[in-house]
Structure formats: C-alpha cells, structure tokens
C-alpha cells in the first residue's frame, strides 16, 4: 500500500464523513516510556514538495512523514500534472514534466484544510502564467491572513484578482525581482518570496525574513536546484533569479515540533522518552526552557532522551520567531506546566488565538487564566505585539479525565498528553486533525505505553 497516501483518509476532505480513528478513549495516570522516531519536518517537507514544481527534472525528497498535510500537497501536485511516487520508507519522487493548470474546483476539492496552496502561486505563475488559490484552511489559531503573500506577489509583478471562490493570479508579462520588506518575519511569506524569486528576472532583496531552520533547509533545497541565494545575519536574504532549475535530492530536516511535543509528554507524565532523530542545534531555545522547567535531557549521536530532573518548576516563556521559543511548542509545554509548583506565564506573541485550547485543560482540573490583552512583564525579551495573549498557569493541579474535542493540531496533541497525565478516562474526538502533523500517531502512543482505545 502506498503509505504516503494512507493518511489522506484522515485529512477530512470536506465530504462530512467521520474518518475511522477520529475518537479515542485514554486511561491516564501512567508515565510514558519508550522510543519515538521522528522523520522530516512537516513544515519543510510540504514546501520542498512545492519547490519540485520549479525543476525541469525529477526531485527526490527523503524522510517525508506519512501525515495528512503531505497527502494534501501530494494530491494538489497531482492535479497539477506532477507525477508523485512514494516508497514505504518515506522517499518521494516528484516529476514535474507534465505540470499543467488545474481546474478551480479540483484545486478546491484537494486543498483540504491546508494553507500550503498559497505557496503554489510563484511556481505556477512561472510555469503557466496563472494560479488559483481556494479559501485557505489550516489550524484555527487566529485570522492567519495572507496579505504579506499577496503584496509580495504583486511586487513581483503578479496581478491579483479576488473572486467569490478564491483568488486568481496572473503574470502576463512574467515575474521580475523585487525589493520586499515583510511587516513581520512570517514563515510562509518568506517561503513565498523564495519560491517566487528563484525564477524571477533579476535580483530580489527580502528584508525582515523568517530564518527558521526549515527556511534554511528550503534554501538548501533551492540551491541544489540551481538557485543563487545568500543571506546576511540581519534577516536579509538576496535571491538572484535564474532561467532554469533542475530537480533535487534532499533529506528533510527533522521535525522540531514533534521532538518538542514528545519531550513535553515525558515531562507532563513523569515519563522517559528517547526521541530518535532529534538534534540539539536547532532546539537550543526549547532545551533551555525544558531544563528551566525541571526537565533533564541527554543529547546523543542518534537522538535526545527526555525526562524530569526532579519536581517541575514554573517558567516564564514568550513565543517568538526563530531563534525564539516557537509558538508550536507552547501548547504541549503548558500541559506540563500544570504540574509545576508555582505560577508560570506563557505570552503568545505569534498568533492571536492560540491559547483557547486551555479552556479544556481547565475542564480537566488545570488552573489557567488567559489574559486576552496580554500581560506586562518586567523581564520580557520579545517586544509586545498588539495581538498577543498570555496564559497564567498555577500548579500543581491534579488533572482528571474529561471529554474534549480537538481544536487544532498542536492543541489536539496537548489534549492527548493532558489525558495521559490525568487520572481516569478521557474521550478525545476530532483526533484526525492530529494526524495532519504527527506520523503514525497511534503506533507511537502504543510504543510509549499509552493506554488507549480507538472507538470511532
């Protein structure tokens, strides 16, 4: 069976059906122990797959996780005429030679809940002179507008037309290099600029770019394809457009978000988890916070082991762009902080609605107060943003089982950890969302000794 398509069953294609494995019951209160293997990062693999559209020859991407976001991008590439072959070990071969325009309704039908379709714009404009983006999904963690993307594309010479069904873009005269300063170092908008500038005529200068390790890995992919990209330490990236790119052969960077998630699971449940494939360099900020919160870790050649050093301690964290503490890490961390003695504060500065998931944790016995306008804090490192919120977590609070519905990818994972930490039984529905970003999720839960049943 083609493993990289199997998760599409759980992706929720909007047909209203409830995929199998969407509801689980968990009996908590038992430490998670064992080994988890992480593959390539969702947030690189999906972008590198889009980059394959830019090559004249076949691209090979290795360590691709078997998650539904990958399945969505795969089917979007296929409706655009790209041939995709997958091996069971997570190697994808992407052949763009048949690339063609796709009908709007097909794009819409295959886009699922993903936000990735917007990254097809630059490559499709170069290839075909036009692109269409349906209404974008992604996690419900804020407004998540696409204005930076559209403004950047306009700067490259694209014409943007808003239609009731989505957005149509065209570039009748081709795309040219641009001078762009992002209002915020957005990951997606930086990727948009990279994927567009590499084939635009002339040079592009991007200021205030995101510099996450997944972005650096995408730059490495594009360089393998023949792109000329350089960067300065002050978030400035220069791209010299070239006339032709070829396919690449690349192993995706490991999934930092999955590593942080399992590390927090070990912390919350007082377990001991070795995450094979985890690396230290890209996770320095996480590891500092993990240690300050009372975690112990051992960096080995082939991964990192995580457990508690002793009692958990309260911490003050502010989410930020790289090299700061990633927003994707705060949700699982908050679950662990409910077990720390004292008051922790988590300032969410990247998304305006990424603390809503804490309501269900309170329902399970946590004491978390969300300040919708954020909180002043004397020792902040990250400048305050208008949209920010803060969670004040007072612990330790014993958690008890409850019925909860997964709201988004990282929030959903956090509910699972909370249920595993809690005494008694929990029922978690809408679990399919978790498989957007966590490969072989149920197998991994079993591997670390979680006591659960798939009930629906």
Annotated catalytic residues are: 139
> Closer CB to ligand EPU, residue 204 or residue 305?
204
Q: Does 306 bind ligand EPU (CB under 6 A)?
A: no
> For residue 365, how many other CB atoms are within 10 A of its CB?
17
- Sheet containing strand 203-207, edge to edge, reads 179-181, 203-207, 236-240, 228-232
Contact 309, 290 (CB under 8 A): no
Q: Does 258 bind ligand EPU (CB under 6 A)?
A: no
> Closer CB to ligand EPU, residue 187 or residue 368?
187
Q: Does 256 bind ligand EPU (CB under 6 A)?
A: no
Q: 321 to 380, contacts with ligand EPU by CB under 6 A?
A: 326-328, 350-351
Least distance in angstroms from the C-beta of 255 to ligand EPU: 9
Contacting ligand EPU (CB under 6 A), which of 40, 123, 134, 188? 188
Tell me how far CA of residue 258 lies from CA of 6, 41, 141, 262, 273, in angstroms: 20, 8, 18, 6, 12
Q: By rule CB under 6 A, what string of x and - marks binding of each residue 431-450 to ligand EPU?
A: ------x-------------
Burial code of 220-235, b = ≥16 C-beta within 10 A, e = fewer? bbbebbbbebebeeeb
How far is it, in rounded angstroms, from Cα 280 to Cα 299? 7
Q: Does 142 bind ligand EPU (CB under 6 A)?
A: yes
How far is it, in rounded angstroms, from Cα 208 to Cα 229? 15
Name the one range near ligand EPU by CB under 6 A: 58-66, 153-161, 186-194, 438-446.
Answer: 186-194
Contact 322, 283 (CB under 8 A): no
Q: By rule CB under 6 A, what string of x and - marks binding of each residue 196-215 to ligand EPU?
A: --------------x-----
Contact 433, 416 (CB under 8 A): no
Let me know how many helices (H) and strands (E) the chain has, helices first.
14, 23
Name the one range near ligand EPU by CB under 6 A: 135-143, 258-266, 302-310, 361-369.
Answer: 135-143
Helix, strand, coil % over all residues of the chain, rounded to 5? 35, 25, 40
Contacting ligand EPU (CB under 6 A), which of 10, 227, 409, 450? 409
Least distance in angstroms from the C-beta of 233 to ligand EPU: 19
Contacting ligand EPU (CB under 6 A), which of 56, 135, 143, 249? 143
Name the one range near ligand EPU by CB under 6 A: 79-87, 139-147, 295-303, 367-375.
Answer: 139-147
Q: 101 to 130, contacts with ligand EPU by CB under 6 A?
A: 115
Contacting ligand EPU (CB under 6 A), which of 8, 186, 338, 421? 186
Sign of CA dihedral 227, 232, 234, 236: negative
Q: Does 384 bind ligand EPU (CB under 6 A)?
A: no
Contact 229, 198 (CB under 8 A): yes
Number of shown-chain residues binding ligand EPU (CB under 6 A): 27
> For residue 89, how many other CB atoms are within 10 A of its CB?
10
Least distance in angstroms from the C-beta of 410 to ligand EPU: 5
Q: Which residues bind ligand EPU (CB under 6 A)?
A: 42-43, 115, 139, 142-149, 184, 186-189, 210, 257, 326-328, 350-351, 409-410, 437
């Amino acid at each position: 069976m083609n493993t990289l398509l199997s998760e599409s069953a759980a992706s929720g294609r909007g047909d209203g059906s409830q995929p199998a494995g969407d509801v689980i019951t968990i009996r908590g209160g038992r430490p998670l122990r064992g080994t988890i293997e992480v593959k390539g990062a969702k947030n690189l693999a999906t972008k590198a797959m889009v980059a394959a559209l830019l090559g004249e020859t076949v691209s090979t991407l290795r360590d691709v996780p078997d998650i539904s976001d990958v399945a969505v991008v795969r089917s979007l590439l296929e409706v655009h005429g790209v041939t995709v072959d997958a091996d069971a070990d997570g190697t994808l071969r992407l052949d763009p030679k048949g690339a063609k325009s796709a009908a709007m309704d097909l794009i819409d039908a295959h886009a699922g809940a993903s936000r990735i379709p917007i990254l097809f714009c630059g490559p499709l404009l170069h290839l075909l002179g036009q692109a269409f983006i349906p209404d974008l999904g992604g996690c419900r963690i804020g407004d998540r507008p696409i204005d930076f993307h559209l403004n950047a594309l306009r700067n490259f010479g694209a014409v943007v037309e808003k239609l009731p069904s989505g957005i149509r873009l065209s570039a009748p005269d081709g795309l040219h290099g641009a001078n762009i300063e992002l209002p915020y170092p957005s990951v997606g908008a930086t990727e948009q600029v990279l994927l567009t500038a590499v084939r635009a005529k002339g040079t592009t200068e991007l200021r205030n770019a995101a510099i996450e390790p997944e972005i650096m890995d995408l730059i490495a992919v594009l360089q393998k394809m023949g792109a000329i990209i350089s960067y300065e330490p002050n978030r400035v990236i220069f791209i010299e457009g070239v006339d032709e790119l070829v396919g690449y052969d690349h192993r995706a960077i490991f999934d930092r978000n999955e590593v942080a998630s399992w590390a927090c699971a070990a912390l919350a449940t007082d377990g001991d988890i070795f995450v094979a494939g985890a690396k230290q360099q890209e996770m320095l900020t996480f590891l500092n916070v993990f240690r300050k919160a009372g975690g112990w870790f051992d960096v080995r050649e082939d991964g990192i082991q995580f457990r508690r050093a002793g009692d958990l301690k309260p911490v003050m964290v502010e989410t930020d762009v790289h090299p700061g503490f990633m927003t994707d890490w705060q949700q699982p961390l908050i679950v662990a902080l409910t077990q720390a003695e004292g008051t922790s504060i988590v300032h969410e500065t990247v998304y305006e609605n990424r603390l809503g998931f804490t309501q269900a944790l309170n329902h399970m016995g946590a004491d978390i107060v969300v300040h919708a306008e954020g909180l002043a804090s004397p020792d902040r490192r990250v400048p305050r943003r208008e949209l920010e919120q803060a969670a004040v977590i007072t612990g330790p609070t014993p958690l008890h089982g409850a019925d909860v519905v997964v709201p988004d990818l990282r929030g959903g994972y956090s509910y699972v950890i909370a249920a595993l930490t809690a005494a008694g039984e929990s029922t978690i529905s809408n679990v399919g969302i978790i498989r957007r970003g966590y490969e072989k999720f149920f197998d991994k839960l079993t591997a670390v000794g979680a006591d659960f049943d798939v009930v629906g």
